[in-house]
Structure 1
Amino acid sequence: MTETASKEAAIRETTTRDTANHYLNRDLSWVEFNWRVLEEAQDPATPLLERAKFLAIVSSNFDEFMSVRVAGIKDQMKAGYTKKDFTGYTPAGLFKRIMKRSEKMVVEQYRTYREILRMLAKEGIHLTEYNDLSATQRRAMDEYYHDIIFPVLTPMAVDQARPFPLVHTQSVYLAVVLRKDGDDPEDDPYFAILQVPSNLTRYIELPGRVNSKKQEYILIEELIEQHIQTLFSGYKAVSVHSFRLTRNADLTLNEEGAEDLLEEIENQLRRRRWGAPVRLEVQKGIHPYALKQLTEEFEITDNTFEIDGPIDLTYMMRLAGHLRGYDHLRYKPIQSVYPAELQDIEDLFGKLRQRDVLVYHPYESFDAVTDFICQAAYDPQVLAIKMTLYRVSGNSPLIQALARAAESGKQVTVVVELKARFDEERNIAWARKLEQSGCHVVYGLIGLKTHAKITLVVRQESDGLRRYVHVGTGNYNDNTAKLYTDVGLFTSHKIIGEDASALFNEVTGFSAPHNWKAFGVAPTDLMEKLCEKVEREAEFAAQGKPARIIAKLNSLSNQQMVDVLYKASQAGVKIDLIVRGVCCLRPGVPGLSDNITVRSIVDRFLEHSRIFYFENGGTPEIYIASADWMTRNLTRRVELMCPVFDKQIQASLINILQLSLDDNVKARQLQPNGLYERICAKDDEPQLRSQFEAMRISSWKTTAHEA
C-alpha cells in the first residue's frame, strides 16, 4: 500500500470511528431498556406482587433477546463476519459487551429476587425448602410426588449406547451425576438428564401448618431432586443441578418455494426445537463433570450463565396472579370506561357518519372495537369486512364475529400474519377456523410481515356505499388491550376509506403501489414521507417559523431516521422523542443533537402507542401509526401511518403526548453517554405520573366545548 493510500485508509477509519460515536448500539440500548424494567422490580413504591411480575418480565425479555438478537450475532460470528455496524461494533465486539452487561444484570436480577422473597415472607407468602417442611407437609409432598410427578418423569441416560437426547429450548432440566458403589473414584461418573415437566405447575402449594396463616409453596424441581433416588435405583446421585438451554428461535422461511405458507410455517415451528444453542443457564454449584458434558454437547463456552437461584423466573408471573387475598400487594384494578361518544348509541355507524372517535386503551375499553366488528357482522346493510390480524387473544370474540359474518353471506377478508414471532401456532389455528367459516384468509405479501392494524367495513346506505375504518396502533387483542397503552381511530372519512380499500387490494391482490392520499405505507413510501416531514420542519425553522416534532414510539434504530433528526436539530427544530425501548439516537450532543430530548416511560402498562406530531409552521399535523422507526418496520413490513383530521381528536392526542412529556415519576431521560436518569419532580412542582393521570379521562380527552 502506498503512503497516500495508507493515509486515505487512516482517514476513513477515523471518520468511521468518529461517526460511530454519533449513535448508540441497538442491542446495548435494548439491554438498558431491560435494566429499566428491572428497576421497576426494585422500586419500593411498586406494589410487591407487581414487583414480582416485573421480575418475571425481565426473564421473559431476556429469553426473547437471546433467542433472536444474540442468536443473530452468533450466526454472524460463526460466518466470520467482521464488518462494523453503523454504531462502530463488530459482531464479536458487540457480543462481548452484551455478555458483560447481561451477566451483571443477571446477578442484580437474582439479588432482587431474594429481596422480593424476603418481603413476601413478611406478608405470609413463603417459598419453602424441602428440609424445612413439617412432618405433615413432607408426607403430603411425598404423596404428591409419587402420585402426580413420578409417573410423568423420564430419566435419560447419556453413554456410548444412548446419545445425548434432544433438549428443548427454554425448558428446565436436571443434570444428574451418578456413581455405583465400588466405582473407582478416578473413573468418570455416570450422567443423565431429566426434564422438569412443563405441563405441571412449577410451584406447589403446601398444606397449612397448625395455627399458621402462612401460604407456603415449594418448587417442583426441588421436590424431584429430593426424590431423585426413585429414578436411579442401584446408583447414588452425587449431584443434581438444574440447567436450561436457549436455542435460536428465528424462523428461516422459503416463502417463494412454499406452495402452502401455513404448512411451511408449521414445519419451521417443529424445526425451531432443533435451533442452534445460544445460551446455557446452569445452577450455581453444578458438578464440573455435568458442566463439561453440557458445554461440550451444546458447544457453548462463551454464553454460559451461572444462576444463584431457580432458573427461569417467569414462574413469578403465574405465582403472583395465582395468589388470592393479597389485593393490597397489587395495583388497584383499572376501571376501563366505554368511550363517552359511543355510550348508549344503538347505531354506531350513524355516530361515525357525524364525527370521528378516538379510543385510548386501556383507559377506554377495547369493547368499543369488539362492538364495531360485531355490529358490522350482524348488520344486514354491511356488505364486506376486511381486517388485519397480527396477534390475537386465545378466545377472541373478534374471530367469532368474523366467522358469523362470513356464514351469513358477507364478504369477509382477513389478512392473518402467520409470521408473528412466538404467536405462529395460535395464528395458524385462527386461520384454519376462519377458512372453515368461509372467510377469505390471506397470508400477506411474500417476504413482508403485515403489521398494519386496520379494519374496513363497507356498508350499503341510502346515498350509496360508505366505508367505515378503524386504524390502531396496537393489535386486535382484547387481552393485551388491558395491559398496553394504544390509541385507535374510528372514522368514515372519505379519503381514509379510499386508501383503506387500496391497501387491502394491494395486500390481497396484484395492485401496483397506490398513490396514497392520506396514508403512509411501508415498505413503499412511509420512510420517504417521514423524512420529508422532518425536513419540512427544518425548513420552517430556518425561516423562523414554528417548528417542532414530538414522536412517541417503541423503538428508534433506523440510521436514516436518526440522521434526518440530527439535521433537523442542527437547523433549530425542537424535537422531543418519547421512546419506550431501543433508541440509537444520542441526544444532547453539542453541535449534533442539542435540540433533541429522549425520554422513556416504564410503568404499570406497556407503552405501545405510536403518535407523531409535526408543527408544520403553525398548522400542526398529527398521525397515528403501527410502525416504529426501525429498519424492519420501514423496509420489511407492511405498516401504516394514518393522519388525524379531526381537530378535537388532534387536541386529545396532543394532551396524551404532553402527559408523557410532563411525567416526573416514571420517566427517565436518555443522556448523551447512553445511560438513563430518572426525571424527578422539583421541590416546588407536583408529581405527575402520566399513566395514573390518564386514568382520569378528563385529563387527556378534549371535549367538544374545549376544542
Structure 2
Amino acid sequence: MTTKSPASNYINRDLSWIEFNWRVLQEAQDSSLPLLERAKFLSIVSSNLDEFMSVRVAGLQDQMKANYIKKDFSGYLPEGLLKRVMKRTYRMVAEQYKTYREILRLFSKEGILLSEYEDLNVTHKKAMDQYFHEIIYPVLTPMAVDQSRPFPLVHTQSLYLAVVLTKEGMEPEDEPFFAIVQVPSNLNRCISISPRGNSKKHEFILMEDLIRVHIHTLFSGYTPVAVHSFRLTRNADLTLNEEGAEDLLEEIEKELRRRRWGAPVRLEVDKGMHPYALEMLREEFEIEDNVFEIDGPVDLTFLMRLQGSLEGFQHLRYPALEPYYPRELDEDDAFEVLRRKDVLVYHPYESFEAVTDFIVQAAEDPKVLAIKMTLYRVSGHSLLVQALAQAAESGKQVTVVVELKARFDEERNIAWARKLEKAGCHVVYGLIGLKTHAKVTLVVRQENNSLRRYVHVGTGNYNDNTARLYTDVGIFTSNALIGEDASILFNEITGYSTPKHMQALCVAPTNLKNKLIELFRREAEHAKAGRPARIIAKMNSLSHQETVDELYAASQTGVKVDLIVRGVCCLRPGVAGLSENITVRSIVDRFLEHSRIIYFENGGEPEVYISSADWMSRNLTRRVELLCPVLDEANKRALINMLQLSLNDNVKARVLQSNGMYENRQPGEEPELRSQFEAMKVAVWKNRGLSEFPEQDSTPS
C-alpha cells in the first residue's frame, strides 16, 4: 500500500473545482476555436466564479465565523483552504482579463468594436447622448450616502457605480460626498451604435461607460471627482427549516427575500478606484480580503449576450447543430413503438422534442389515466408544463414533483408550481431534507382491460433549453419491472410509503450508494478470480470519500478503472500502491458534458447503467436520485460506443495527474479524435439508418 498520508490520497474538492474552471478558461484561450465561441467560454468562467463565490467560498467563511476547526477528508482546515482558494482565484481572474484583452483585439480585426464614448465621432456621440436622456436617464436612481441617508441595499451580482463628488466652496481637506447608482439590469448593457456609412462594422458601448460620461446630470450643483464600477457577491445559500415550515413554498419565498441581505463574500471594483470610494465600500460591506481590482469591465458575463446578439459572423461560430429526431420514435404512436422495444436518445445530437412529444401524446391520449413526473430545472417557456396542465384539465391524474430548492431556479419553479396547481395537477414539493434530483416520467395507460406503464428515465433535466447545450441520455421503456419500480418511487415521494425493495431501479438515499459499492466489489471479485474486470464511469463530479475509497480498493485487486469526470474529482489517480490502475480524464468542449453512464465488465457479461446522480455526498445521501439499468443490448452497445469515444478523445480530453493538475492528452501517432464531433457523426449515421453505422468496438479497449 501507499506510504502517503491518508489526507494526501485525496484532492480537495474546491481546489479541484478551480482546476475545472481553468479548463474552461483554456477553451477561451484556444486559438483553434471560433472567436465568438471563445468569448462565450470567457463569459462562462465569470458565471461559474459567481456561483463558486456565493456558495463554496461563502460556506468556508461561515465555517471560519463558527470557529469550525475540523479538517476535511483532504486534510484542509477552512482558513488554510480559503487562502489557497483565493490565491488561485486571483491568478485566474488576472489571466481571464488578459484573455479578454486578446479577444477584444481579435474582435476589432473582425469588425466588432467595443468602444469608449471618447472614441466616438460627433454624430455617434449625439446619438448616444439622445439614447442616454431618452432611455437610460429616466430609469436611474442616484442614492446618496450621508448621515441622514444610510447606505442603500446593494443587490448581489448587480453592477453599480460609486460616485465621489465635491461642491463649490469645499476645502481640500473636507470629506467628499459619496453616492451610488445602479446600472439598470433590465436594459441591454451592450448598446449598439449605428454603422458609419456603409461600414459593416458592429460597434458597441457599455452602458456604464455612457452613464459615467453623463453622471453630472444626476448631481446638479456637485462636481463628480471619480466614477467607478463595483459589484458585490453575497452568500446565496438558503437556510431552510423544512421541519417547522407549514408551507414549504412560502418558506422558500421568504428565504429568497433574505438572500438579498446575504453576507458579503466578494467585492469587485475597477482597478485604480478612488481611495475614498474603496474605503466606503470596504467599511459598509465589512470586507477586507476578497476584493478584486478588475483591469477591464467588471463582470464579463455580458459577453454571452453580446455574442448572441450579433447577426451574421457565422464564420466566428460553430456550425449550427440540427438535432436529429430519433428514427425509432418517428411514428405517430410512441406507445406502439415502446411496446416493441426500448428507445435510447442522446441529446443534443438527438432532439429533445422526442421527450416533449411523448408527454404531449400522453396528455392527449384518452387511454392515458395518469402522468407522474419530476421537475428540477425547467425552461422559461416549457411545453412540457403546458402539456401537463392540459392533461390535468382534461381529467387525467397528473402528479408533478417540483423541486423548489433547485439552487438559483427557486423563483421559476415556484411560478411553475403555482401554474400547475391552478390547472388541477397534484403538485408535491418532495421529501423533507432531500432534494428530488431524479429525472423520471411515468405514464399509466389502459390497454386491453389491463394497465401498462411507460417510463422515461434521463440523466438531464426536463429543460428544452439546456437539452440543446448539454450532453445527456434518456431511455424510453415499457419494461414491466422498471414501470413497477417507478410507481413505487412516486408513492414514496408523494405518500407515506416506507422504502420497498425495487427490482430494477436503485434510489438514493435508500440504496443507490450501496448498490454502487456492491458492483465495485463484484468487479474486484472477478479480478481476483482472473475474470475480466473493468469499470468505466462518466459523470460531472466525484467527491464522495467512501466511493473514492471503494474505487481505490477495487483497482488494487486489478480492476481497471477509467473515469470521465468533467468537473470536480477528489480521487488521486496514478499513485503507486493506491491507484495506478485508475485513469481520470475531463472533457470540456462545445457542449457541457452532463450524462452519467456507468459500465461494469462483470466477468465478460457487461452491465450498463444511466443515472441522475454524480458521485458526491449530496447526491448519494441528501437527494432523491435514480440508477437505471440499460436492458436492451443495442442500447448497451450504443452507450459503450459513447464511452469509448470519450476515452479515445485526444483533442479536448485533459488527463488528471497524481499531483492534481491536468495535462492535455496528445494525439501522438493516432489520428485526432474529438469525441463530441464524432458523436455528431454517429447521430447522423444512426438516424439515417445506414447499415455501415460507424460503431466503436463494443468491448472497451
- TM-score category of the 2 structures, normalised to the smaller one: over 0.9
Q: What is the one-letter code of the residue matched to 1:250? A: D
Identity of aligned residues (%): 73
Question: What is the DSSP-based 3-state SS (H/G/I as helix, E as strand, rest coil) of the residue aligned with 1:545?
Answer: coil
Quote the Cα distance in structure 2 between the aligned partners of 1:18 and 1:147. 66
For 1:426, what is the secondary structure of its paired residue?
A: helix
What amino acid does structure 1 have at the position aligned with 2:544? Answer: N
Please state how far the C-alpha of 1:199 moved relative to its aligned partner. Answer: 0.8
User: SS at the partner of 1:274?
Assistant: coil
Instruction: State the match for 2:63 in structure 1.
Output: 76
| Counterpart in the other structure of 1:9 | none
Aligned equivalents of 2:329, 2:142: Cα separation in 1? 59
* Pick aligned residue for 1:260 from 247, 251, 268: 247
Q: Deviations over 1:642-697 (max 9, x none)?
A: 00111110000100100000001111000001010111211x32111100010013
Cα deviations across residues 580-634 of structure 1 (Å, max 9, x unaligned)? 0000000000110000000000000000000001111111111000000000000
The Cα shift of 1:259 comes to 1.2
Distance in 1 of aligned mates of 2:502 and 2:551: 24
Map 1:356-435 → 2, pairs under 5 A: 356-435=342-421
Change in Cα spacing, 1:700 to 1:556, as seen in structure 2 (3 Å) is: farther
On the 8 A contact 1:243/1:281 being kept in 2, the answer is yes
SS of the equivalent of 1:572 reads: coil
Alignment of 1:7-406 (within 5 A): 18-343=5-330, 345-406=331-392
Read off the aligned partner of 1:654 and give its amino acid letter.
I
Aligned partners of 2:499, 2:192: CA distance in 1, in Å? 59
Task: Confirm or deny that 1:608 pairs with 2:594.
Answer: yes
1:481 to 435, 442, 467: 467
Q: C-alpha deviations, 1:198-242, integer Å up to 9, x for none?
A: 111101111222353221100000001001111111111111100
The Cα shift of 1:554 comes to 0.2
CA distance in 1: counterparts of 2:387 and 2:326, whole angstroms: 21
CA contact (8 A) 2:350 2:683 kept: no
Give the SS at the match of 1:156.
strand
Q: TM-score, normalised by structure 1?
A: 0.96
SS in 2 for 1:114: helix
Distance 2:145 2:684 in 1: 63
Contact 1:664 1:688 in 2 (8 A): yes
Q: Judge which range, 175-184 or 22-31, deviates more.
A: 175-184
The CA distance in 2 between the partners of 1:447 and 1:293, in whole Å, is 40
| Counterpart amino acid of residue 500 in structure 2 | H
**Does the CA-based 8 Å contact 1:205-1:215 persist in structure 2?**
yes
Work out which of the residue numbers 637, 642, 645 in structure 1 matches 2:623: 637
Contact residue 449 and residue 637 of structure 1 kept, 8 A:
yes
Correspondent of 2:674 among 678, 683, 689: 689
Q: Which runs of 4+ in 1 moved over 6 A?
A: 702-707
Structure 1 residue 180 displacement after superposition: 1.5
Measure the CA separation in 2 of the matches of 1:548 and 1:16.
26
Match of 1:5 in 2: none
Mapped contact 1:77–1:91 kept (Cα < 8 A): yes
Counterpart Cα distance in 2 of 1:164 and 1:700: 62
Please list the CA deviations of residues 367-390 of structure 1 after superposition, one character each: whole Å capped at 9, or x if unmatched.
110111011111111110000000
In 1, the alpha carbon distance for the partners of 2:401 and 2:676 equals: 32
The partner residue of 1:502 within 488, 496, 501 is: 488
Provide the rounded CA distance (Å) in 1 between the counterparts of 2:638 and 2:257: 46
2-side partners of 1:231 and 1:374: how far apart? Answer: 53
Amino acid aligned to 2:680: M
Distance in 2, matches of 1:491 and 1:214, equals 52
The answer to whether the Cα contact below 8 Å between 1:656 and 1:700 also exists between their aligned partners in 2 is: no
Which string of whole-angstrom CA distances, capped at 9 and with x for unpartnered residues, describes residues 443-501 of structure 1? 00001000000000000101511000000000000111000000000000111001000
Q: Counterpart in 2 of 1:548? A: 534
- Map Cα deviations across residues 395-442 of structure 1 (whole Å, 9 max, x no partner): 111011111111111100000001101111111111111111110000
CA contact (8 A) 2:21 2:48 kept: yes
Contact kept in structure 2, 1:614 and 1:622, CA below 8 Å: yes
Report the Cα distance in structure 2 between the residues aligned to 1:167 and 1:437, rounded to whole angstroms: 38
Secondary structure in structure 1 of the residue aligned to 2:89:
helix
Distance 1:676 1:444, change over 3 A: same
TM-score, length basis structure 2: 0.97
| Maintained 8 Å contact 2:526/2:533 | yes
Whether 1:537 and 2:523 are equivalent positions in the alignment is: yes
Instruction: Look up the match of 1:660.
Output: 646
Residues 111-146 of structure 1: CA distance to partner in whole angstroms, max 9, x if unpaired?
A: 111111110110001001111100000001111111
Contact 2:390 2:423 in 1 (8 A): yes
Aligned-residue offset at 1:342: 1.4
Q: Which one-letter code corresponds to 1:203 in the other structure?
A: C
Distance 1:664 1:16 in 2: 33
In 2, Cα distance between equivalents of 1:182 and 1:19 = 68
AA paired with 2:381? N
Look up the equivalent residue of 1:694 and give its one-letter code. A
Answer yes or no: is the 8 Å Cα contact 1:30–1:582 preserved in 2.
yes
8 A contact 1:648–1:704 mirrored in 2:
no
Q: How many pairs does the alignment contain? A: 691
The CA deviation at 1:159 is 1.0
The answer on whether the counterparts of 2:349 and 2:683 sit within 8 Å (CA) in structure 1 is: no
Conserved 8 A contact 1:17-1:88: no
Distance 1:435 1:225 in 2: 47
Identify if the C-alpha distance between structure 1 residues 700 and 77 changes in structure 2 by more than 3 Å, giving closer, same or farther: farther
**C-alpha distance in 1 between matches for 2:50 and 2:133:** 32
1:524 is paired with a residue whose SS is coil
Q: What residue in structure 2 maps to residue 8 of structure 1?
A: none
Report the equivalent of 2:440.
454
Q: How far apart are 1:187 and its partner, in Å?
A: 2.2
CA distance in 2, matches of 1:359, 1:208: 45
Answer with 605-614 or 228-237: which moved more: 228-237
Q: Distance in 1 between matches of 2:180 and 2:141?
A: 9
For the 8 Å contact 2:435–2:622, the answer to whether it is kept is yes
> CA offset at residue 58 of structure 1?
0.4
CA distance in 1, matches of 2:438, 2:666: 36
Q: Using a 3 Å threshold, how does the CA distance of structure 1 residues 493 and 704 change in structure 2: closer, same or farther?
A: farther
How large is the RMSD of aligned CA atoms in angstroms?
1.4
Quick one: which amino acid aligns to residue 130 of structure 2? Answer: E
Tell whether 2:457 aligns with 1:471. Answer: yes
Report the 3-state secondary structure (helix = DSSP H, G, I; strand = E; otherwise coil) of the residue aligned with 2:308. helix
Distance 1:586 1:489, change over 3 A: same
Gaps of 5+ in 2: none
CA distance in 2 between counterparts of 1:193 and 1:346 reads: 60
Which stretch has the larger CA shift, 413-422 or 187-196?
A: 187-196
Instruction: Determine if contact 1:394/1:426 at 8 Å carries over to the other structure.
Output: yes
Q: Is the 8 A contact 2:161 2:182 kept in 1?
A: yes
Matches of 2:378 and 2:3 in 1, distance apart?
Answer: 44
| Distance in 2 separating the partners of 1:16 and 1:475 | 43
1:481 match: secondary structure: helix
